[in-house]
A = this chain, B = another copy of it.
């Protein structure tokens, strides 16, 4: 836990800063909603009852609802009440919403979907980055990869260096909407490494693939960058799929077959 903080809807801040009530309520309620604890279409208890049950003032509760409403998770109207919207309306690309998905074990369909998105976005972004990268982008990438080598993906520092590298590639694409996908991609990267580590699955050294992407971007070769990044993400996908199979087998067949 203790993620990157920044926006609304996180339980507590990086600096030991105590959480604000509306933030924690939004966080808890958000997790409850995306995990299906409140079904789509269901209306939650009215403001007065619910805020009393949560032991917070109505104002704080209402601000929490505003946060969830801003992210598309609920919709509130007079008389009808506040009800959970259909999942297709949720802002899945919102960093907080995605984080709430990953707070509990997320749906495998979502993991697959995120990998598909990465396979679409990241090679294209790498190609654009090869054409447009500025010197400072390369500096950030190089530093991230060196940190990755030093700390390895088993440490928190190594994982955040991995995310920093992918973020830098999206940054270097010089495309605002693409860069906005950084947090989404980052969540996928993070989950992948953590999950594989939990399954003791770290079969392939990720560094050569990463350096190939970096070299292609630095050399200004769009197609080389595209294929190198496709290879990198594809390898991560295959490793994760294997870890997923192991994870599913374990609870069913403890030691025999």
Measured CB to CB, the residues of A under 8 A from B are 6-9, 22, 26, 59, 62-63, 66-67, 69-72, 75, 87-96, 109-110, 112-114, 116-117, 120-121, 124, 128, 175-181, 184
- 25 A–B contacts from the bound complex (CB under 8 Å): A6-B89, A7-B69, A7-B70, A7-B89, A63-B63, A63-B66, A66-B70, A67-B70, A70-B71, A72-B95, A91-B91, A91-B94, A91-B180, A93-B94, A93-B177, A93-B180, A94-B94, A112-B175, A113-B176, A113-B177, A114-B177, A116-B128, A117-B175, A117-B177, A121-B121
Where chain A touches its partner, the secondary structure class is helix
Partner pick for A8 among B66, B110, B117, CB 8 A cutoff: B66
Given the contacts A94-B94, A95-B91, A113 and B178 also touching, CB distance less than 8 Å: yes
Q: Are the C-beta atoms of A175 and B113 separated by less than 8 Å?
A: yes
Contacts of A181 in B (CB 8 A): 93
CB neighbours (8 Å) of A116 from chain B are: 128, 175, 177-178
Q: Which 3 A-B pairs have the closest CB atoms?
A: A70-B70, A92-B180, A8-B69
Nearest CB on B from A111, distance (A): 10
Minimum Cβ distance to chain B for residue A172 (Å): 13
- Check A8–B70 contact: CB distance below 8 A: yes
Q: Is there contact, CB below 8 Å, between A180 and B90?
A: yes
